[in-house]
Amino acid sequence: MDRNDENDGQSARIPQQRSSVPSFLFLIFMLFILTNHTGDEFLARNHYQDALQSLNYQLSNFTAWLNGTESNFTMPDRNAAATPLVGSFMSFGSRLNPQWASYFSNVTGFAHGEIDFFNITPPSLGSATYSWRTHAETFMGDTNMTDLTGHFGSWNWTGSDKISWSIMDRAPISVKGVTEKIAMVHGRIDVRHPATSDDMKLDFEGVHFLANGSIYGFAEPTGRHIDIRYIPAFVPEAFQNDTARTIEPELMSRINKVKDMIDAGVIDQDSSNGESQGGCGFSVYAQIAPSEIPAKYMEDLEDELQKPTGRWTVKRPPLKLNGVLLSRECGILYNLHDAEGLRSQLFFRKVATYAGISALVYLVQLLLLSRQVDRSRTPAGLSRVSLWTFLTQSIVDSVSFAGHITFAIIANGRPSLSLVAPAFVACVLFAFESQHAILINQVQAPEDAVAPPPPRPVQQEPSLPPQAVPTPMTAPPRSTGPTFLSLLFRHIRSDPQARIWLGMFFFLTFIVRVIVTPSLALVFVASMYSLFWLPQIIRSVKKGRSSALTAEYMIGTSLCRLFHALYFLTCPKNVLDVEPRRWVWYLAMFIFLQVAVILLQQRFGPAFFLPKRFARAQVHDYHPALPISAADPEAPDESLGDCAICMEAIHTEDEKQLEHVTGGLLRNVGARRSYSLAPCQHLFHTECLEKWLAIKNICPHCRRPLPPL
């Protein structure tokens, strides 16, 4: 067999490198399998069946109680001390003259306000000097302190200082025998603690009296059932019958809703969680502040807000709320004062505005990135930029994409579609930055790798006459195929892109788990934003050459990056209601300080800010003084040797060559010569080596990495 045939056979048996796309798709499929829990739907369906049976039982007993027939339902006794105790902190509304003032007829939206904590347990009231102390003692009565302490749980109720109230106000319905306009309201109350990032979530159910702007209801920890049949027990006695008759059609509406969801197969898994978090239940008393706008104009404003037509309306008045959260089972009283409300429609417009501006900012970033990539796409340019600069930005954009998508899912309404725009542009930006980071890694990997030392000459020992060595008879080895794990491990080791995708997958999985914690999210923002340009400064100092990043890209990208950080951490009325942080201004100053250092490095040198003893970067000299004796002494002309690329002679004082190389640039510069000696001791024409380094940064002869020329 010919030797060439043997070589062809061996090369044919070498497996080709597989693409990393199947590995990436396989990882995504495994993630879907691990996170897809189909058993929850079965549990949710059983939960709905139980809820339907319970609602039917509640409705039948409540209807019998309203009609005065035999029933298993009993309305609890009214606590006479609750009304004067609540009245010590807030004033209930009264009927207004519709020609001069009015209340908000629909408070659907979000309210945020500060709360004051009061301990109304008997031991604490013993030494208190409050004016309402007598009412609190009467309200608490002979409370068992042992049971009271058991309701507290692990939540720090004393340190809570703010609440966020999400309210859904339904339109009032006409009920026979009811003279008052009463609307059913429900929602959620989040009690916040300043020292921790956790919130105590309370489900809310209540009624809204449109005539005087008063709201009464129950707030229970998530998972604990709220029986709306007990709401008439603590509304004003004059409205007790009307409230009870309003509860009956609400129960019927909920029964029909559950039936429709079961028939349609629509399962809301969030509402099927029946596990209670424990904690304290509250009676909620709230009062809407009146506005100095006639009722007719207020109705026009509400109609325009629900169905915009562009007609003129009065200026929207601020929505203010005051209230009291009272818990007898825990001995807690929260006083809510001057809470600001935001209607849902206005919130949707605010979210859409934010989404539009955010998408525009990401488009500007994408344009700046594309211009920078076009200017530094050569190996010489890619070797002068930091891999971590683009990798850090790609991580931030991936988290931003996940955050906007999550926000769109949670919004679950008209703003959801608008939030897809910034999420999509952030995803595209992440893909471009990741691709550019991979390209930078491919170019810089040979340069950053430690070159192996040249092989030492091996002295051959005198050969001995061959002797016949008996070969022991052994059984042929048993052929065993490679396992799946070994093949996977071998594929990951041989494919650089597979390693990058796998590392990014695990890192992003960790980031998604961490980012849901607000305190860790702030640490993530501060750390990632601090690492945008710092790796570039370090690389420039280490390699002894300035960066290839333009001032347009660095300044524009910094401004665009800081838009989101400054919006959420400085604007007190941002869409996510994030508390302002003063340290974000120092973060912005630190980012622009890094940009200034990089620009000064391009002007005064990479290590201008370091002492001279630390500013000595190892830079290879491609143009050392070479003696003519190194060339062939029998050559007709004096030359240094032949170029390893074009294989032509290299002359030190060739005027024609100096004029030809880069259009006479070498003659004008004067510092560079016509020859270049690589670290591997291979000699080239400077012109040939420049053209070669524009394609690859390895020696064309021995394939060793070459530093920039």
Q: Is 499 helix (H, G, I), strand (E, B) or coil?
A: helix
* Residue found under tokens 């000459």: 457
pLDDT tens by residue, 384-417: 899 999 989 998 898 888 888 888 887 766 678 8
Q: How confident is the model at residue 633, as a pLDDT?
A: 53
What are the helix (H) ranges across 386-474? 387-411, 414-448
- Closest among 467, 464, 482 to 15, alpha carbons compared: 482
Distance separating the N- and C-terminal Cα atoms of the chain: 47
What values do phi and psi take at 622, rounded to 5?
-80, -10
Separation of alpha carbons 428 and 434, rounded Å: 10
Which two three-digit tokens encode residue 517?
Answer: 């914690």
Q: How confident is the model at residue 524, as a pLDDT?
A: 80
How many angstroms separate the Cα of 13 from the Cα of each of 115, 259, 687? Answer: 75, 65, 40
For the chain, the maximum distance between any two Cα atoms, rounded to a whole number of angstroms, is 127
pTM: 0.68
Which two three-digit tokens encode residue 238?
Answer: 């004059």
pLDDT tens by residue, 283-331: 999 999 999 889 888 888 888 887 878 888 888 888 899 999 999 888 8
- Given a contact cutoff of 8 angstroms between Cβ atoms, the answer to whether 240 and 228 are in contact is no
Higher-pLDDT residue of 141, 459: 141
Sign of CA dihedral 222, 224, 227, 233: negative
Separation of alpha carbons 408 and 417, rounded Å: 7
Which two three-digit tokens encode residue 317?
Answer: 């008045």
Q: Is 351 helix (H, G, I), strand (E, B) or coil?
A: helix
Separation of alpha carbons 289 and 284, rounded Å: 16
pLDDT tens by residue, 128-142: 788 899 999 888 887
Separation of alpha carbons 703 and 697, rounded Å: 9
- Given a contact cutoff of 8 angstroms between Cβ atoms, the answer to whether 200 and 191 are in contact is yes
pLDDT tens by residue, 545-584: 888 899 999 999 999 999 999 999 999 888 888 888 899 9
- Neighbouring C-beta atoms of residue 161, cutoff 10 Å: 14
Separation of alpha carbons 220 and 188, rounded Å: 9
Separation of alpha carbons 498 and 492, rounded Å: 6
pLDDT tens by residue, 139-163: 888 776 666 766 676 777 888 888 8
- Given a contact cutoff of 8 angstroms between Cβ atoms, the answer to whether 227 and 202 are in contact is no
